[in-house]
Amino acid sequence: MTVEQDCVALDQFPVGMRVLAVDDDQTCLRILESLLHRCQYHVTTTNQAQKALELLRENKNKFDLVISDVDMPDMDGFKLLELVGLEMDLPVIRVTHGACDYLLKPVRIEELKNIWQHVVRSRFDKNRGSNNGDKKDGSGNNEGVANSDPNNGRANRKRKDQYNEDEDEERDDNDDPSSQKKPRVVWTVELHKKFVAAVNQLGFEKAMPKKILDLMNVEKLTRENVASHLQKFRLYLKRISGNQQAIMANSDLHFLQMSNGLDGFHHRPIPVGSGQNVLQNPTDLGKFHHVSSLPLNHIDGGNILQGLPMPLEFDQLQTNNNKSIIAGNSMAFPSFPTQQSSLPNNNNHLVLEGHPQASPSAFPGHQINKRLEHWSNAVSSSSSTLPPAQNSNSIIIGHQFDVSPLPHSKPDSLEWNTQNASSSYSIPFCDSTIPLTSSMNTNPRAFYRTTDLDSNANVQPGVYYDSSQMRQSGNYGPTTDAMLSSNPKEGFIVGQQKLQSGFMGAEAGSLDDIVNSTMKQEQSQGDLSEGDLGYGGFSSLRTCL
């Protein structure tokens, strides 16, 4: 299909649509400009995000759509998106070379010819009174293009197909929600863990929403949800890598806050899990939202979630059994057949035992994904202080929150390290000292968490993210795999423990992988004490909130 044909295929709307293109890279900007011209759009370009904002503010009606690069030095695309989305109702499409659900570089004409649909959709939604905005939403901008492959041509074609497929889905999704109040998906820790595991398995750069969705195997989760989340995640990682130090303490929360701020997440009704759960109804999630806006930084522990019931979505998700381990605080915990069998922990910690019964979504074949590793590494490129070049940031999502008040301030890495099992290790994943898998070559004990899974509440929410965290997660990674094979549940559980928020072990696997891969590189056990990680797991930032 030639460029001309592609453009001609466009009908109605697009001609003359006014697009503002922002990219600090002149080469890409020039190409983008030309592509847009070819589509008969009216194009204005700038290579500075600030300038773009000025142009936009100058006259809010001057543009119909903004296409922006995400990794620009002066302001990242994500932020631009936020600002643009908040100040003016413009749909923004992001362009990146990473694997993400936005337009990926190299930008192709086929994708551009469809971008006008974002404008239409956005306006349509506005007319309906609910401005969900694909602008802010990953799903709206989800082009489903992944360009990590060396095989650009093939990848491009695949992406294009995906994109087309995505377009349809998006449309449906957008239409329905606006009419029915849009059930939103809450990205709980466990869900996030699954997500991370899936991404890990696929390879960060290659991870596409559809495949991730398939791997996650979660009912009622749509590709758009995944795409949106993936985008946020990637952006978050990028940001994290930029502020590694700052984020160390509260990466999860940070991520969550970011997400919430953008209102990007879709909520979906939280299914009430098993009877024993103290489940919170979906409205509770709202609480989380609010909570998330609290700076988690090290809160004295940061137990924002204190007292908040943890949603059991994870139960729902788990096909296998949902025995929820209900902590005193109503933390629902998917029950894993723990060796100890007494999971419920009274301190609101999810006690994840290394049960092999692993959550349904256990990631079979979850393995440390080198790509993920790279990805994580990329995120935390700085890490001079952190031993492993981990990008703990990336995994941040797995942050665990303690529902109950935790002794905060420092992740109990020490505790974790020293205790072998029974004590709650607050930082299951992060503990670099605990080698989850043989590959990690850290303490084998780590994996044996199963015995001590009694989630300790010492998970400090704030600490999760820092490179050390990543490291720990790294440990997890390899171990997870190993564990998974032998005891999949365990793997998850370990991760989960941290999740006091009722995060199920299943996700742990993924998180572990991530951690593992990152950890692989570094082996300093001691780093864990640096503590900041309590666990990179995604413990559902949402819940933490």
Partner 1 sequence: MLGFGVDRLQADINRLLTSLFHQGVLDEQFLQLQQLQDETSPTFVYDVINIYFDESEKLLRSLRLLLMDREFSDYKKIGLHLNQLVGSSSSIGARRVRNVCVAFRSASELNNRPGCLRGLEIVEHEYHYLKNMMHELFQLEQQRLLAAGVRYPM
Specify the stretch interacting with partner 1 by CB under 8 A; choose among 147-155, 217-225, 411-419, 429-437.
147-155
Residue 18's SS3 state is strand
25 in contact with partner 1 (CB under 8 A): yes
108 in contact with partner 1 (CB under 8 A): yes
Specify the stretch interacting with partner 1 by CB under 8 A; choose among 149-157, 268-276, 331-339, 442-450.
149-157
Q: Could you tell me the two tokens for 430?
A: 């992060």
What one-character DSSP code corresponds to residue 536?
A: -
385 in contact with partner 1 (CB under 8 A): no
# of chain residues touching partner 1 (CB under 8 A): 44
Residue 208 and residue 202 in contact, taking contact as beta carbons nearer than 8 Å = yes
Nearer to partner 1, 77 or 534 (CB): 77
377 in contact with partner 1 (CB under 8 A): yes
Q: Using CB under 8 A, pick the residue from 55, 183, 242, 339 that binds partner 1.
A: 242
Nearer to partner 1, 98 or 411 (CB): 98
Quick one: which of 109, 104, 342 has its CA closest to 93? 104
Compute the least distance from the CB of residue 90 to partner 1, in Å.
23
Q: C-alpha distances in angstroms, 422 versus 418, 473, 497? A: 10, 20, 12
341 in contact with partner 1 (CB under 8 A): no
Nearer to partner 1, 387 or 398 (CB): 387
Quick one: which of 476, 541, 471 has its CA closest to 513? 476
206 in contact with partner 1 (CB under 8 A): no
**How big is the CA angle at 285 (ends 348 and 398), to the nearest 5 degrees?**
60
471 in contact with partner 1 (CB under 8 A): no
Give 351-412 as a DSSP string.
Answer: -----TT--TT--TT----HHHHHHHHHHT---SSSSS---HHHHTTB----SS----SS-T
359 in contact with partner 1 (CB under 8 A): no
- CA–CA distance, 229 with 74 (Å, rounded to integer): 24
Compute the least distance from the CB of residue 83 to partner 1, in Å.
21
**Helix and strand numbers, DSSP H then E, in the chain:** 23, 5
Nearer to partner 1, 51 or 370 (CB): 370
Nearer to partner 1, 230 or 285 (CB): 230
Compute the least distance from the CB of residue 152 to partner 1, in Å.
4
Quick one: which of 139, 397, 377 has its CA closest to 255? 397
Q: Using CB under 8 A, pick the residue from 50, 341, 381, 486 that binds partner 1.
A: 381
Cβ neighbours of residue 379 closer than 8 Å, sequence gap 6 or more? 237, 238, 240, 241, 391, 392, 393, 394
Q: Using CB under 8 A, pick the residue from 53, 378, 470, 511 that binds partner 1.
A: 378
Q: Could you tell me the two tokens for 30?
A: 């020039």
What one-character DSSP code corresponds to residue 137?
A: -
Q: Using CB under 8 A, pick the residue from 374, 409, 414, 444 that binds partner 1.
A: 374
Compute the least distance from the CB of residue 475 to partner 1, in Å.
16
Strand partners, 22: 46, 68
Specify the stretch interacting with partner 1 by CB under 8 A; choose among 102-110, 264-272, 303-311, 350-358.
102-110
3 in contact with partner 1 (CB under 8 A): yes
Name which of residues 518 to 537 contact partner 1 (CB under 8 A).
521
16 in contact with partner 1 (CB under 8 A): no
Cβ neighbours of residue 465 closer than 8 Å, sequence gap 6 or more? 240, 247, 248, 249, 250, 251, 252, 254, 392, 393, 395, 396, 399, 532, 533, 536
Name which of residues 26 to 55 contact partner 1 (CB under 8 A).
26-28, 30-31, 34-35, 37-38
* H or E element that contains 299: none
* H or E element that contains 459: none
Q: Using CB under 8 A, pick the residue from 222, 367, 391, 450 that binds partner 1.
A: 391
Quick one: which of 301, 305, 362, 356 has its CA closest to 331? 305
Q: Could you tell me the two tokens for 143?
A: 């082009």
372 in contact with partner 1 (CB under 8 A): no
Compute the least distance from the CB of residue 381 to partner 1, in Å.
4
Compute the least distance from the CB of residue 272 to partner 1, in Å.
42
Q: Using CB under 8 A, pick the residue from 42, 48, 106, 171 that binds partner 1.
A: 106
Give 464-475 as a DSSP string.
Answer: G-SHHHHHHHHH
Q: Using CB under 8 A, pick the residue from 69, 111, 353, 490 that binds partner 1.
A: 69
101 in contact with partner 1 (CB under 8 A): no
Which residues would be at the binding site for partner 1 (CB under 8 A)?
A: 2-4, 24-28, 30-31, 34-35, 37-38, 69, 71, 73, 96-97, 105-109, 147, 150-153, 156, 241-242, 374, 376-378, 380-384, 389, 391, 521
